[in-house]
Amino acid sequence: MRNKTTYACQQCGHQTARWMGRCPGCGEWNSLVEEKMVSPAKTVRLSPLSAPIPVTDVAATEEERYATGLKELDRALGGGLVPGSLVLVGGDPGIGKSTLLLQAAAALAEKVGTVLYVSGEESARQIKMRAQRINALHPNILLMAETDISVVERHIHELSPAAVVLDSIQTAFQPEISSTPGSVAQVRECTGVLMRVAKGTSIPVFLVGHVTKEGTLAGPRVLEHMVDTVLYFEGDRHQSFRILRTVKNRFGSAHELGIFEMRDFGLIEVSNPSALFMGQSSRGVAGSVIVPSLEGTRPLLVEIQALVCASGFGTPRRMTAGVDPNRVALIMAVLERRVGLRLAAHDAYVSAMGGVKLDEPAVDLAIALAIASSFRERPVQDRLVVLGEVGLTGEIRAVSGLEKRLQEAAKLGFSSCLGPLWKHQRDSLGIINYIEVQSIHEAVEAALG
Annotated binding site for ATP: 91-98
C-beta of 135: minimal distance to Mg ion in Å?
A: 18
**Beta carbon nearer to ligand TYD, 268 or 275:** 268
First-last CA distance in the chain: 77
Q: Exposure of 326 by Cβ count < 10 A (0-12 exposed, 13-18 middle, 19+ buried)?
A: exposed
- 102-131 binders of ligand TYD (CB under 6 A): 130
C-beta of 370: minimal distance to ligand TYD in Å?
A: 32
| Binding span for ligand TYD by CB under 6 A among 3-11, 41-49, 185-193, 261-269 | 261-269
- 62-121 binders of Mg ion (CB under 5 A): 98
C-beta of 99: minimal distance to ligand TYD in Å?
A: 3
Q: Cis before residue 168, ω within 30 degrees of 0? A: yes
- Please choose which of ligand TYD, Mg ion, none residue 338 contacts, taking the beta carbon within 5 to 8 angstroms, the exact cut-off set by kind: none
**Beta carbon nearer to ligand TYD, 127 or 409:** 127
Candidate list 133, 250, 376, 397; residue touching ligand TYD; CB under 6 A: 133
- 265-284 binders of ligand TYD (CB under 6 A): 265-266
Please give the DSSP secondary-structure letter assigned to residue 67.
Answer: -
**Beta carbon nearer to Mg ion, 98 or 305:** 98
Do 159 and 142 contact (CB within 8 A), yes or no?
yes
Site residue total, ligand TYD (CB under 6 A): 15
Known binding-site residues equal 91-98
Alpha carbon 415 to its chain centroid, in Å, reads: 23
C-beta of 287: minimal distance to ligand TYD in Å?
A: 32
**Beta carbon nearer to ligand TYD, 84 or 209:** 209
**Beta carbon nearer to ligand TYD, 57 or 264:** 264
- Please choose which of Mg ion, ligand TYD, none residue 409 contacts, taking the beta carbon within 5 to 8 angstroms, the exact cut-off set by kind: none
- Please choose which of ligand TYD, Mg ion, none residue 85 contacts, taking the beta carbon within 5 to 8 angstroms, the exact cut-off set by kind: none
Binding mask 32-71 for ligand TYD (x = CB under 6 A): ----------------------------------------
- 134-173 binders of ligand TYD (CB under 6 A): 134
**Beta carbon nearer to ligand TYD, 84 or 235:** 235
The residue whose Cβ lies closest to Mg ion is 98
Q: Give the β-pairing of 4-9 and 32-37.
A: antiparallel
* Separation CA 437–CA 347 (nearest Å): 28
- 66-105 binders of ligand TYD (CB under 6 A): 91, 93-99
C-beta of 171: minimal distance to ligand TYD in Å?
A: 12
Query: Which string of DSSP letters, residue by residue, matches 218-234?
Result: SSHHHHHHHSSEEEEEE
**Beta carbon nearer to ligand TYD, 65 or 245:** 245
Q: Exposure of 281 by Cβ count < 10 A (0-12 exposed, 13-18 middle, 19+ buried)?
A: exposed
Query: Which string of DSSP letters, residue by residue, matches 298-358?
Result: EEEEEEEEEEEEE--SSSPPEEEESB-HHHHHHHHHHIIIII----TTEEEEEEEGGG--B
C-beta of 93: minimal distance to ligand TYD in Å?
A: 5
Q: Give the Å distances, CA to CA, from 263 to 85, 240, 266.
A: 29, 7, 5
**Beta carbon nearer to Mg ion, 90 or 379:** 90
Contacts of 429 (CB under 8 A, 6+ apart): 406, 410
Do 250 and 236 contact (CB within 8 A), yes or no?
no
* Separation CA 402–CA 43 (nearest Å): 52
**One-letter amino acid of 91:** G
C-beta of 98: minimal distance to ligand TYD in Å?
A: 3
Site residue total, Mg ion (CB under 5 A): 1
C-beta of 270: minimal distance to ligand TYD in Å?
A: 15
C-beta of 234: minimal distance to Mg ion in Å?
A: 15
- Please choose which of Mg ion, ligand TYD, none residue 264 contacts, taking the beta carbon within 5 to 8 angstroms, the exact cut-off set by kind: ligand TYD
**Beta carbon nearer to ligand TYD, 262 or 390:** 262
- Among 131, 141, 76, 134, residue whose Cα is nearest residue 105: 141
* Separation CA 142–CA 140 (nearest Å): 6
| Binding span for ligand TYD by CB under 6 A among 33-41, 219-227, 259-267, 355-363 | 259-267
Strand arrangement of the beta sheet that strand 15-16 belongs to = 15-16, 4-9, 32-37
Angle at the Cα of 279 from the Cα atoms of 93 and 435, rounded to 5 degrees: 110
* Separation CA 313–CA 347 (nearest Å): 10
* Separation CA 81–CA 229 (nearest Å): 10
- Residue 264 touches ligand TYD, criterion: CB under 6 A: yes
Residues that bind Mg ion (CB under 5 A): 98
Residues that bind ligand TYD (CB under 6 A): 91, 93-99, 130, 133-134, 262, 264-266
